[in-house]
């Protein structure tokens, strides 16, 4: 957009029906940060297939009460045009700055449009939002969160009536309606006399969630024998603080050790560089606490409590971090092992993983005679499989390499609270066998073969960067690698070829070799980067990952 255009857009905000504080911030930004001023107004913050996510502040390209209101009006218009009868939406929010305000604005706009609202009374994780949509039989849900992004960000995720994030074609249809809202004057911000009610949800819904998800657990005797298991848990300043300790207590665990500084719900995330349990630095304080207290296990969740990071003690007693593939593999093996021991395995059950998640999960499932479905990256695709099989086949569990996992059908997204419960229960069950979680993982590797995963993200910004990413994908399609670290490539999967994969078309390539290794190449859908996922099998898998990176990432 040319300079005069963004200046004109900003001036329209200064001349328009915007609150005085917003206008003052626009003037301040214009005077003190010309580059930031341009970025704030040069385009509209894009409402994508998952909703909104962006930096908070004034302007059309920022998360603020006006862009949130416009997104909500578009959602309301879509619902009213497509769904008959009384309409309802559940709303939750996390501890990020402005999350509560954005949730209230969302509730008011929906109410003003005659849509019933169920609003959580305080911060709650994504799994509680998903659960409440299903419990209330609502038509949709909205979660105010930017997941594990830096503190400057917030976001707006839309869920549908199955409790999962929206997928095609509904996602694109909602985007089209949101794009029709071009000015805040089109938004019904204030509920009038004919507004629909806004009802609060709280402890009663929490209790229903606890009762349902904890009914899925498998080893009450082990939990009772090891109720004194020392567990350090940190919500990293997020919404898990209201759910995870309570869930573990209801499981019978009596020795939950907190990191008091990180129990504080604070959108500035003051004790970490990033509130992301995938990053070792986010668990630093919890591991220090574990060493001080002699704890057996560390668990951390991100601000919206859908991802879990864990650390366990190795054979020398040192705390080591497990990645999402390792945690997902342990939980899948444990759940299937216990279900088999309890006589609960049937021929209509299945697990699900994403295509960039370790093949070990599929191998574990196959060894128990359980089907494993592969889906595109994103938990909404796991949820879509569950929805497609609802009432016919039973979803056991599913996960993705980016630290997301879920058990059972009550929640249709990543569920860190239930993942924490199963990790703790698995640790208690392993203790009954005289094993630690670390040793349990080593036993899994002994049975199925050692695996190692790696990820490299190449950042390429701007138009030239986007062109470079396109060229990388084009070159790899035209000239795929003939071998991976010397082992011949036996299969190439191009996920643009939906008739061959049976999945929605996606710009992803996978290369499999004779040694059991796999490399996936995938441009990010939300950031200016291309990702290389590496999975190696064999005793030298660690060294092999390093060689694969050197071979393919230039």
- Residue 284 vs residues 276, 290, 295, 319, 427: alpha-carbon distances, Å: 12, 10, 14, 11, 21
Would you state the pLDDT for residue 283? Answer: 98
Q: What is the mean pLDDT of each run of 10 residues along the chain (554 residues)?
A: 72 93 96 93 86 94 96 97 95 98 98 98 98 98 94 96 94 93 93 94 98 97 98 98 97 98 97 95 98 97 97 97 97 98 97 96 98 96 96 97 97 98 98 98 97 92 86 95 96 96 94 96 83 95 95 90
Rounded Cα distance, 367 and 355, in Å: 19
Domains and CATH numbers, the chain: 1-43 (no CATH), 49-201 (3.40.120.10), 209-448 (3.40.120.10), 451-552 (3.30.310.50)
Q: Which residues of 166-191 are buried (b: 16+ CB within 10 A; e: fewer)?
A: bbeebbeebbebbeebeebeebbeeb
Rounded Cα distance, 260 and 177, in Å: 44
Nearest Cα neighbor of 232 from 321, 127, 310 is 310
Would you state the pLDDT for residue 441? Answer: 98
Rounded Cα distance, 227 and 222, in Å: 8
Q: Which residues of 72-93 are buried (b: 16+ CB within 10 A; e: fewer)?
A: bbbbbbbbeeeeeeebbbbbbb
Whether 281 is catalytic: no
3-state helix, strand, coil in the chain (%, to 5): 40, 20, 35
The full DSSP string for 537-548 is ESTTHHHHHHHH
- Provide CB contacts within 8 A for 20, sequence distance 6+: none
Would you state the pLDDT for residue 526? Answer: 64
The full DSSP string for 399-411 is EETTTEEEESSS-
Which ranges constitute the DSSP H helices of 264-411? 284-293, 324-341, 360-367, 379-388
Residue 505 DSSP code: -
CA dihedral 430, 435, 437, 439 (to 10 degrees): -140
Nearest Cα neighbor of 43 from 62, 27, 30 is 62
Would you state the pLDDT for residue 2? Answer: 39
Exposed, middle or buried: residue 281 (CB in 10 Å: 0-12, 13-18, 19+)? exposed
Would you state the pLDDT for residue 5? Answer: 87
- Provide CB contacts within 8 A for 167, sequence distance 6+: 49, 160, 380, 381, 383, 384
Nearest Cα neighbor of 118 from 101, 99, 139, 97 is 139
Maximum Cα interatomic distance, the chain, rounded to a whole number of Å? 72
| pLDDT (tens digit per residue) in 340-374 | 999 999 999 999 999 999 999 999 999 999 999 99
Question: Of residues 92, 135, 147, 506, which has the active-site annotation?
Answer: 147
- Residue 324 vs residues 52, 309, 403, 542: alpha-carbon distances, Å: 26, 7, 4, 16
Rounded Cα distance, 125 and 530, in Å: 29
In 190-296, DSSP assigns E strands to 198-201, 231-234, 256-258
């Amino acid at each position: 957009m040319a300079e005069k255009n963004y200046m004109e857009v900003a001036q329209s905000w200064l001349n328009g029906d915007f609150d005085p504080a917003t206008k003052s911030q626009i003037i301040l930004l214009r005077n003190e940060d010309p580059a930031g001023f341009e970025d704030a107004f040069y385009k509209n913050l894009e409402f994508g297939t998952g909703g909104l996510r962006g930096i908070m502040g004034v302007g059309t390209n920022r998360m603020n009460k006006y862009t949130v209101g416009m997104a909500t009006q578009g959602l309301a218009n879509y619902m009213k045009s497509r769904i008959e009868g009384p309409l309802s939406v559940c709303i939750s929010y996390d501890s990020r700055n402005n999350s509560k305000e954005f949730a209230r604005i969302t509730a008011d706009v929906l109410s003003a449009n005659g849509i019933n609202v169920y609003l959580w009374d305080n911060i709650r994780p994504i799994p509680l939002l998903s659960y409440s949509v299903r419990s209330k039989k609502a038509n949709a849900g909205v979660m105010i969160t930017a997941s594990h992004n830096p503190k400057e960000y917030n976001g707006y995720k839309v869920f549908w009536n199955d409790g999962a994030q929206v997928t095609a074609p509904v996602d694109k249809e909602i985007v089209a309606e949101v794009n029709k809202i071009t000015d805040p004057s089109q938004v019904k911000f204030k509920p009038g006399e004919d507004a629909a009610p806004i009802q609060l949800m709280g402890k009663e819904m929490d209790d229903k969630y606890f009762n349902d998800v904890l009914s899925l657990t498998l080893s009450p005797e082990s939990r009772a024998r090891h109720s004194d298991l020392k567990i350090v848990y940190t919500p990293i300043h997020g919404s898990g603080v209201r759910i995870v300790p309570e869930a573990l207590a209801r499981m019978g665990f009596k020795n939950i050790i907190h990191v008091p500084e990180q129990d504080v719900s604070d959108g500035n995330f003051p004790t970490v560089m990033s509130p992301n349990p995938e990053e070792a630095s986010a668990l630093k304080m919890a591991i220090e606490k574990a060493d001080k207290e002699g704890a057996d296990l560390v668990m951390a969740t991100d601000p919206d409590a859908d991802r879990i990071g864990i650390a366990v003690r190795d054979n020398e007693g040192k705390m080591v971090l497990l990645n999402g593939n390792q945690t997902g593999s342990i939980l899948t093996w444990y759940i299937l092992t216990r279900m088999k021991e309890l006589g609960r395995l049937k021929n209509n059950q299945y697990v699900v993983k994403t295509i960039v998640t370790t093949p070990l999960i599929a191998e574990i499932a196959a060894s128990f005679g359980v089907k494993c479905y592969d889906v595109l990256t994103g938990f909404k695709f796991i949820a879509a499989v569950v929805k497609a099989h609802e009432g016919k086949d039973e979803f056991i569990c599913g996960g993705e390499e980016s630290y997301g996992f879920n058990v059972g059908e009550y929640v249709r997204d990543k569920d860190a609270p239930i993942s924490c419960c199963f990790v703790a229960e698995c640790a208690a069950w392993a203790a009954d066998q005289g094993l630690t979680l670390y040793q349990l993982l080593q036993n899994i590797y002994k049975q199925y073969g050692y695996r190692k995963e790696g990820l490299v993200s190449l950042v390429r910004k701007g138009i030239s960067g986007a062109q470079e990413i396109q060229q990388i994908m084009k070159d790899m399609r035209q000239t795929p690698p003939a071998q991976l670290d010397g082992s011949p490539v036996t299969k190439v999967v191009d996920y643009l070829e939906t008739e061959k994969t049976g999945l929605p078309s996606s710009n992803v390539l996978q290369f499999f070799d004779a040694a059991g290794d796999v490399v996936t190449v995938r441009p990010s859908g939300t950031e200016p980067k291309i990702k290389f996922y590496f999975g190696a099998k064999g005793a030298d898998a660690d060294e092999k990952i390093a060689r694969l990176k050197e071979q393919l990432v230039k």
